[in-house]
Amino acid sequence: MMESSWARWLVLILVSLTMFFAYFFVDVAAPLQSLLEKNYGWSPEVFGMLGGSEFFLNVFAGFLILSGIILDKMGIRFTIITSGLAMVFGAALKYYALTFIDASSIVNIFGYSLPSTAMFAFIGFAIFGVGVEMAGITVSKTLVKWFKGKELALAMGLEMATARLGVFAVFRLSPYFAGITDENALGDPTGVSNSVFWGLAFLAVGFLTFLIYTFVDLKEEKQSGKSDLSPEDEFKISDIGKILTNPGFIAIAGLCVLFYSAIFPFQKFATDMLASKLNMSIKDAGALFSYFPIGAMVLTPLIGFFLDKKGLGATLMFFGALLLTVSHLIFGLVPAETFNTTIAIITIVILGTAFSLVPASMWPSLPKIIDEKFLGSAYGLIFFIQNIGLMIVPILIGWSLSHSNPGVAEAIASGESLKYDYTQPELIFAGFGVAAMVLALILKGIDKKNAYGLDLPNIQK
């Protein structure tokens, strides 16, 4: 069945649809920062903590490493269902927090006052984060299983493109679900809750597509007589040491955390940044930024096709990091008086191109340097390292925003129409890009020394 092209592409469609819905929920609150400040009393620091909470359990409880081990020991079908259930449960708890808990209620945690809505939303988002990251590594191993030696980079590119479409959809639909219109620029009082509800509903559909995949996978296993689990390939805890002493893995993991730390946390603040810098409504800013994943959606499969045929994976990672740095420097250093919609669109296109080059090159490169028997754990480890950055950086950016804009958060909460200056946060993002460029060059040197073949085509002739 795996040799049948229609079966491979059916698998790709099923798992990609779930990741579309998952990525929608990841950023469902991203365009709604101002509503959370106004209707729930959340400061930029609290909003940043929401972004970081998605990765809390993955980092501090080691769930991502555990997810990789579960994947290698229990197999794809068990792990994919577990991840789907965790996403739905965590999303439901986040919806409960923003719908049924009194917005004026405050809790005190280790001397820090926090809205009760935020605390329970953090818990729900952390559980969702376990599920979505577990889903990510499982989908990666699933595509390796079905496409290795074939159109692997193209398949991964199409899966990522579908997920990016979820980001486009959320920046378009979340403000709409929240009741933000030209006539009602501030949205409905229950707007955030409405948006999260629709994100939860989409995730339930995504769980069903995961479930359908398990039946396809089971049928393939019965026909071929081959399982993705076999006694001779059973993963051992000691194999983690083999992964962590692989220089190619260390370089890719470092590049991964630096690159994604300048992308996903930025998405949380991008709508408000554009609204502030261009002096436009949240609705218009969200619509403008929604084009960011479209470039990545179109380019990623094309880059994947190129990598399958021609290679140059390590080289493209460097150019992706370069474009990432350039885009954040433009956002940060071009004065507000000069910055206009045209410059914003050009910069978003540059960032979208970077968002295509690095992931499309990076994820198909990992199977070239890691033995397939512990590939799931390698993906788990790299996502764990990535999650450390994704947890810390939103909190850092929220703090930086408040620190560089004293008194603005309090004024907005009291009803004033002030705007934030995002220069300092953008320079932090640009710094991650510079460091990623350095690591990309180091990776090229490691590839040359160890002959991983990162710049060689993926399709085996």
Task: Give the closest residue to 399 by CA, choosing from 47, 101, 90.
Answer: 47
When pLDDT is cut at 50, 70 and 90, the band that residue 237 belongs to is: low
Percentage of the chain beyond pLDDT 90 is: 44
Whole-number pLDDT of residue 418? 80
Q: CA 272, 274, 277 angle in degrees (round to 5)?
A: 105
> In Å, how far from its chain's centre is CA 42?
23
pLDDT at 13 over 70: yes
Determine contact, residues 452/369, Cβ cutoff 8 Å: yes
Evaluate the CA torsion angle 340, 346, 349, 351 in order and state its sign.
negative
Q: Does any domain span residue 458?
A: no
Whole-number pLDDT of residue 235? 54
pLDDT at 392 over 50: yes
pLDDT at 151 over 50: yes
Mean pLDDT over residues 262-276, rounded? Answer: 91
Q: Does any domain span residue 459?
A: no
Q: Does any domain span residue 338?
A: yes
When pLDDT is cut at 50, 70 and 90, the band that residue 3 belongs to is: low
Mean pLDDT over residues 32-59, rounded? Answer: 88
- The more confident residue out of 151 and 319 is 319
pLDDT at 325 over 60: yes
Ranges 131-145, 239-253, 366-380: which has the least confidence: 366-380
Cα(first)–Cα(last) distance of the chain, in Å? Answer: 21
Q: Does any domain span residue 460?
A: no
Q: Does any domain span residue 457?
A: no
Whole-number pLDDT of residue 356? 86
Alpha-carbon distance 178 to 134, whole Å? 29
pLDDT in tens, 202-235: 999 999 999 999 999 888 888 876 666 554 455 5
Q: Does any domain span residue 300?
A: yes
When pLDDT is cut at 50, 70 and 90, the band that residue 18 belongs to is: very high
Percentage of the chain beyond pLDDT 70 is: 94
Q: Does any domain span residue 261?
A: yes
Mean pLDDT over residues 268-290, rounded? Answer: 88
Instruction: List the domain range (segments joined by +) for residue 297.
Output: 5-450
Q: Does any domain span residue 455?
A: no
Residue 48: both structure tokens together: 């940043």
When pLDDT is cut at 50, 70 and 90, the band that residue 414 belongs to is: confident
Residue 210 vs residues 22, 86, 166, 395: alpha-carbon distances, Å: 12, 13, 16, 32
pLDDT in tens, 69-96: 888 788 899 999 999 999 999 999 999 9
Place of tokens 């983690």: 240
When pLDDT is cut at 50, 70 and 90, the band that residue 399 belongs to is: very high
Determine contact, residues 141/76, Cβ cutoff 8 Å: yes
Ranges 192-196, 230-234, 399-403, 456-460: which has the least confidence: 230-234
H/E stretch holding 336 reads none
The total number of structural domains in the chain stands at: 1
Q: The domain that contains 296 carries what CATH number?
A: 1.20.1250.20
- The more confident residue out of 240 and 208 is 208
- The more confident residue out of 427 and 363 is 427
Alpha-carbon distance 150 to 143, whole Å? 10
Whole-number pLDDT of residue 182? 63
Determine contact, residues 160/359, Cβ cutoff 8 Å: yes
pLDDT at 408 over 50: yes
pLDDT at 422 over 90: yes
Task: Give the closest residue to 17 by CA, choosing from 199, 290, 216, 209.
Answer: 209
User: Which amino acid is it at 87?
Assistant: M
Whole-number pLDDT of residue 227? 65
Residues 6+ apart with CB under 8 A from 431: none
Whole-number pLDDT of residue 232? 46
> For the chain, what is the total number of helices (H) and then of strands (E)?
20, 2
